[in-house]
Structure 1
């Protein structure tokens, strides 16, 4: 199973320490066998393209997965940046296409586009970017974009064309991913479940956090230290749930409400429910985490986007559990 990590958000660090942390996580991730790292974008964060360039400079094979939102940048600018990085570094990037965002961020930008319409806009946006990267001259007059004989220079080497990832928790997201031949991303239900609703089934790539250690006591002790009980965080999660129209957010919230979880259920939503992160976690021994991952693999999952690593050990142990899951499937 291939995996990406996630770059730390700039809001968690000061200006002096953040660049060093980005470089550190990039080197850790590459050493652990990650293909690359997801770089978030929203109104409060530093420019993800600048962060991506830093990560490219600190690594040899690493692929930054850059979150890209149509409201922030026209399609020509995205294609130009991809081609420029390819020319200057000989390296490729990946794109994590973002249709929406935090409601207040969108409001501040004057974007009141409805949920499904945001995916329609994203589809047109990506088609323009993809066509330019293939060397095509693009003419389009549509609801969201208008370009006339638009062509990209410098030309993009075919070997460095980016893989596109796209959240596919809603019908609109799945349809858009299929139209773009993008890699769909979702947030999984507990391992062992086989949801009848297609919206609840995992896609090829899933967002997940891992805390795996030699013993369950060690793993859960670390999980409790890293994500303690937090009434204020729980309140912020409830407020976000009330205002968000994201399908994946609603699905995870509903999953947490129906689970009567014990303290040691491998599938753990506490970090999500206390507004500390935006994905489920798997917690336990290497074997327990590997068993859960192997179950997802049997459902068609072949890739992971892991949560932000807190330490280098996190990645070492995560890579061990992923390797155990892959080995179990082979044998």
Structure 2
């Protein structure tokens, strides 16, 4: 189980429609959501960009096929007005009585934004996202009408109907890899999600008292087993060398101004050909967008404990390939929470 009585929040990631045929996608998304729901995860991240299906429609399917899982919907300001996003949240809550989480985006693939006529500079996109989130928050919180005037958005006497019950107010997340992202997280009351540095660097920051802002989230994949050789066998089976993927990664580097993308790419160059617990091979081959931790339970849980001690309260895992992935990840987090002393007071962590 991956439910820890509020000590941390754990999200998985939904499969992407670009990686499979239309006839298979909905089944795969519902299956991954069912595994995550059964494991007690807080929610599941649903990506958005110009090349995949609409995340709100996937969220609706997820709500219909799970009991408690919260869709973590990626919200791209260029796609819809903040009123439309707020209306989606309130309508889904009205129809399903369920909470939604929102992953507020400031950027995206540069070519995607250019195709939509958006040439807003990197840091200004965070200014826009702050305004977007503030309008959305006020609409969902307000009992009366909302008036807001900013650089990018303006509303006059706007009211949200149906109103959102306070207990279903959405959790907000945003990329916190850059200073602009961290400032935006503080401004809108969101969890700042980072692509973590290698544990050795995280431990160095911890020893210097540099633990980042809170609340803080981590985006990471995990493959752990009793036998480290078994973990690595699975890792290379899932993420073999992919020449086309490496070319796609190089192209993305040329067309992206995302700080996290550059940071991970630089780390990948430094750690090339290393079979280390902190593994960037899948990212280099464009198999996924986050680092992986690979090895036996004790080693991987040590690394997760480092991130917990550095202030992480939220973890977004990669796409699960099978239900066993969540069982083994649960073992890692139980061990890590015990090592970090992060279990809630009086909490008995679920048995393996």
User: Which TM-score band applies after superposition, normalised by the shorter structure?
Assistant: over 0.9
8 A Cα contact 1:7 1:38, kept in partner: yes
- Unmatched segments (≥5 aa) in structure 2: 1-7, 343-352
Q: Which residue of structure 1 lines up, in the alignment, with residue 288 of structure 2?
A: 277
> Could you give the per-residue CA deviations for residues 294-323 of structure 1, whole angstroms, max 9, x where no partner exists?
111111112210001111111111111111
Q: How many residues align?
A: 330
In 1, Cα distance between the equivalents of 2:213 and 2:318? 17
The answer to whether 1:290 aligns with 2:298 is no
**1:88-99 equivalences in 2 (<5 Å):** 88-99=95-106
Question: CA 1:81–1:155 in structure 2 vs 1: closer, same or farther (change >3 Å)?
Answer: same
8 A Cα contact 2:12 2:44, kept in partner: yes
Q: Which residue of structure 2 lines up, in the alignment, with residue 131 of structure 1?
A: 138
8 A Cα contact 1:169 1:200, kept in partner: no
8 A Cα contact 1:309 1:315, kept in partner: yes
The answer to whether 1:25 aligns with 2:37 is no
In 1, Cα distance between the equivalents of 2:303 and 2:223? 12
Q: Which residue of structure 2 lines up, in the alignment, with residue 225 of structure 1?
A: 237
Give the aligned CA root-mean-square deviation in angstroms: 1.9
The answer to whether 1:216 aligns with 2:245 is no
Post-superposition shift, 1:232? 2.5
Q: Which residue of structure 2 lines up, in the alignment, with residue 186 of structure 1?
A: 194
**1:108-127 equivalences in 2 (<5 Å):** 108-127=115-134
Post-superposition shift, 1:7? 0.4
- TM-score under structure 2 normalisation? 0.90
In 1, Cα distance between the equivalents of 2:213 and 2:250? 24
Q: Which residue of structure 2 lines up, in the alignment, with residue 83 of structure 1?
A: 90
Post-superposition shift, 1:23? 1.2
In 1, Cα distance between the equivalents of 2:52 and 2:279? 27
8 A Cα contact 1:170 1:199, kept in partner: no
Q: Which residue of structure 1 lines up, in the alignment, with residue 179 of structure 2?
A: 171
SS in structure 1 of the partner of residue 200 of structure 2: coil
- Unmatched segments (≥5 aa) in structure 1: none
Range moving further from structure 2, 317-326 or 121-130:
317-326
Q: Which residue of structure 1 lines up, in the alignment, with residue 335 of structure 2?
A: 324
Post-superposition shift, 1:262? 2.4
